[in-house]
Amino acid sequence: MKRKIGIVGATGYTGVELLRLLVSHPAVEITCVTSREHAGSRVDAMFPNLRGYLDLTFTAPSDEALSACDLVFFATPNGIAMKSAQTLLDAGTKVIDLAADFRIKDIAVWEKWYGMQHASPHLVEEAVYGLPELNRAAIRNARLVANPGCYPTAVTLGLLPLVENNLIDVAGIIADTKSGVSGAGRKAEVHTLLAEAGDNFKAYAVAGHRHQPEIAQTLSTIAQTAISPVFVPHLLPMIRGIHATLYAMLTTEADLQQLYATRYAAEPFVDVMPAGSHPETRSVRGANVCRMAIHRPGNGQRVVVLSVIDNLVKGAAGQAVQNMNLMLDLAEGTALQQPGLLP
């Protein structure tokens, strides 16, 4: 019997990406797709790429309909899932939040960065951070998963072997990151207009970005010491993709290529490229893969890791489906084996 799946707020880019992946999943059935604004209209009228794959209309959110699902995704803005998760959990429905409501364990830190009072702080401690390469066993047993942010996924996976093995000076980590405009969401804003973002390149939020405390929390937990990396995001004149260039100083000698190859050998969605490689964002476009390469310029003490993902797939919807597969005891890679799209 197929598992019943609901999606709350499926009118954004992560929502339609979830739908695109799930309609070809052999073990699940999408039974509920909600939108208050578009209730009553067909999903494939908004997203014509789904014509012939999904015969549903948007409905207004209903606790009864969502509670009948085995698992519900929240592809909603920050602050929505935290108001509804408890009702679904009480009904036995598992929850994956693609926003940030359950990512930050320190409630005061979360409220500072997200500018609102947390509606269900009691659930934050229970929520499992949904990075399978780090928390696979806990995800399998979870009722509530906080899907990681896009930048934190690329940065954390790129640094994970170095931090786990205490090979770098954690006080000097620099994460120089770039994202396509779809990372800003499906909304009308001047800075994402074609005439503003096209033929343009700029840094933003240098003084502070919401993903910095998420990255710091995860790396600090791994290292068992406080880490606060320099994190600088940039906006690229393209639709999809994240490129993270990560800098750190080595504190001990190691065969980094072998270290990364061994750490990720059993990970189906991390690709460690041969020494000297330069991963490209287009190689992961539409794919649930983090592709990376490790460099030591001049064979010196500085290590440079290049890490690329599709921000909407491994950085959002694809990773969420990966987590769903684990939570529902399905094969982890189901519906996620597509290669990247070229050209």
Which residues are part of the catalytic machinery?
150
CA 323 to chain centroid: 11
Q: Return the SS3 of 190.
A: helix
- For every residue of 207-238, DSSP letters joined together read T--THHHHHHHHHHHHHTS----EEEEEE-SS
Taking the C-alpha atoms of residue 315 and residue 150, their distance in angstroms, rounded to an integer, is 4
Residue 140, burial from CB neighbour count under 10 angstroms (0-12, 13-18, 19+): middle
- Phi then psi for residue 279, to 5 deg, are -65, 145
DSSP 85-121: HHHHHHTT-EEEESSSTTT-S-HHHHHHHH-S--S-H
Say how far apart CA 17 and CA 239 lie, in whole Å.
14
Amino acid at 224: Q
Alpha carbons 126 and 13: distance in angstroms, whole number:
28
Find out whether 72 and 144 touch, Cβ atoms under 8 Å: no
Of 307, 297, 317, 123, nearest in space to 215 by CA: 307
What are the beta bridge partners of residue 177? 233, 244
